[in-house]
Structure 1
Amino acid sequence: MQNRFDGRVALVTGAAQGIGRAIALALAEAGASVHLADIDAAGVSATAAEIGASAHAVDLGSAEAAQALIRDIVATEDGLDLLVHAAGGVRGQVGRPIEEISEEDWRVIFAANVDAAFFLARAAAPVMRKARYGRIVTISSGAGLRPSLTGIQAYASAKHALVGLTKQLAWELGPHGITVNSVAPGFVRSNPATERQWESYGPEGQKRLVESIHTRRLGTPQDIAHAALFFLGEPAGWVTGQVLSVDGGRS
């Protein structure tokens, strides 16, 4: 069954590169009217131009910015059907002992991974409720289900919180025709941060990681996009509150 999104309006965050970019491209190819949001103004503009989408340079750690983004899209499109929150990441941090972690180090990762998802859902929910239709997909992580390979306490905690938010929103919004699900990727070399992490393992660590995966390969951004589009499509209309591990069987 082919998953088409003709006539649907979609917002993908974290879309300048990596997983978010792959999801945005897949939606555009499937017929959706796609809006891209990212803190990287140059990157999101370049991606939007390449795939024929609309670009929004925005820091979604701000409640006001998230509200304004949704308001602008609705004013342009007269609605919002699909929301994918792929923004987040480690914000340049590396694993360190907990006593070395500052309050700011902790909070900046929560702002990017959890606060932004909450602010966006809070802004989009009334629009989707009015339409009696909506699909929300969060991109969490294997780090939201177990300890993180990054070794970053805030990242593991934030991704666990994002999974909790996903499940709670599914319960709240389900009666209004809105599904909320999460894709939890395994290790994917998708951006500069994951490239640095991959290099830090060294040849032996890289070999051990790949051998711990049933399929004996790393994932790709496209692997994650395929899972996201399943949750966004009509065949998944009775699927909500779920977390799908897309990690080659490692979990």
Structure 2
Amino acid sequence: MNISFDKRTVIVTGAAHGFGRAIAKAFAERGAAVHILDVNEAGLDETRQLCGERCRSHVVDVGDRDAVQAVVSAIEADAGAVDILVNNAGGVRGQVGRPLEEISQADWQTIFDVNLSGTFFMTQAVAPGMKKRRYGRVINISSGAGLGISLTGIQAYASAKAGQIGLTRQLAHELGPWNITVNNVAPGFVRSNPTTERQWVAMGEDGQQKLLQNIAMKRLGSPDDIAAMVMFFASDFAGWVSGQVISVDGGK
């Protein structure tokens, strides 16, 4: 399967490390013009250097609707159109699992802002241009936590990712008449960034082995495994695939 994105313009959010970095590199290697977004400027610069001349970076908080509208308008003014959007920005924002009685409104909201509101705001911003051209691909990166439970016990994370999956299905039906597909990748546990490294260490040897034994393939995946699924959803091979959630988790 030879997948190329020549003459396509792509936005990847949460691209400072991990899945976002792997996804951005995969698009750049296949000929796309890639615009990477994150709040982490230093990490974003590293990704841009790895992606080469096809990549441009933008420091933006996807939970800020006005900032999202501004950056998408600037990208469209420069590139002419956005063909593919990957909503990868997310995470737990430094939180750890705690009893629900201890969760403040701010703790709850900040996770929803990046994981769910950011997905909505970004898709909302690119949709008019995609509708005008009658073409678009939107790929949301959720989590196994959105289909089951969070391994860390973070209530807001599991809830926001489940909400993102529901949003994926809703937008697939809303945007489908304009030849815009909306799909979702639900990764399993991957050691892909500082947060997941801390989680891996916190499991201890027994917890790590238990996690591995619950995976059909008895091993962890890599960010490149997630990027590969995104490449398929973004490609012409998936032109009649929409509203789908695919778990990339080694088998559960």
TM-score, length-scaled by structure 1? 0.99
Cα distance in 2 for residues equivalent to 1:199 and 1:45 = 27
- Residue equivalent to 1:45: 45
Q: Which runs of 5+ in 1 are unaligned?
A: none
- Residue equivalent to 1:55: 57
Equivalent of residue 149 in structure 2, options 128, 147, 150:
147
Question: Match of 2:149, SS?
Answer: coil
- Residue equivalent to 1:16: 16
- Residue equivalent to 2:117: 115
- Residue equivalent to 2:36: 36
Question: Match of 1:106, SS?
Answer: helix
The number of equivalent residue pairs is: 250
One-letter amino acid of the counterpart of residue 35, structure 1 = H
Give CA-to-partner distance per residue, 1:191-231, whole Å, 9 cap, x none: 01111111110000000000110000011100000001100
Aligned-pair distance for 1:46? 2.0
- Residue equivalent to 2:166: 164
Cα distance in 1 for residues equivalent to 2:237 and 2:218 = 30
TM-score, length-scaled by structure 2? 0.98
- Residue equivalent to 2:107: 105
Give CA-to-partner distance per residue, 1:61-90, whole Å, 9 cap, x none: 100011111101101100000000111100
8 Å CA contact 2:6, 2:32 repeated in 1: yes
Cα distance in 2 for residues equivalent to 1:140 and 1:58 = 20
One-letter amino acid of the counterpart of residue 243, structure 1 = V
Aligned-pair distance for 1:150? 1.5
- Residue equivalent to 1:206: 208
Question: Match of 2:242, SS?
Answer: coil
- Residue equivalent to 1:187: 189
Give CA-to-partner distance per residue, 1:131-180, whole Å, 9 cap, x none: 10000000000011011112000000000000011110000000001000
1:126-137 aligned within 5 A: 126-137=128-139
Instruction: Provide runs of 4+ in structure 1 moved above 3 Å.
Output: none
8 Å CA contact 2:142, 2:165 repeated in 1: yes
8 Å CA contact 2:25, 2:50 repeated in 1: no
Equivalent of residue 72 in structure 2, options 70, 73, 89:
70
Q: Does 1:238 align with 2:240?
A: yes
Question: Match of 1:138, SS?
Answer: strand
CA RMSD across the alignment: 0.6
Cα distance in 1 for residues equivalent to 2:12 and 2:165 = 18
Aligned-pair distance for 1:37? 0.3
One-letter amino acid of the counterpart of residue 12, structure 1 = V
Cα distance in 2 for residues equivalent to 1:80 and 1:89 = 25
One-letter amino acid of the counterpart of residue 81, structure 2 = G
Cα distance in 2 for residues equivalent to 1:46 and 1:246 = 26
One-letter amino acid of the counterpart of residue 11, structure 1 = I
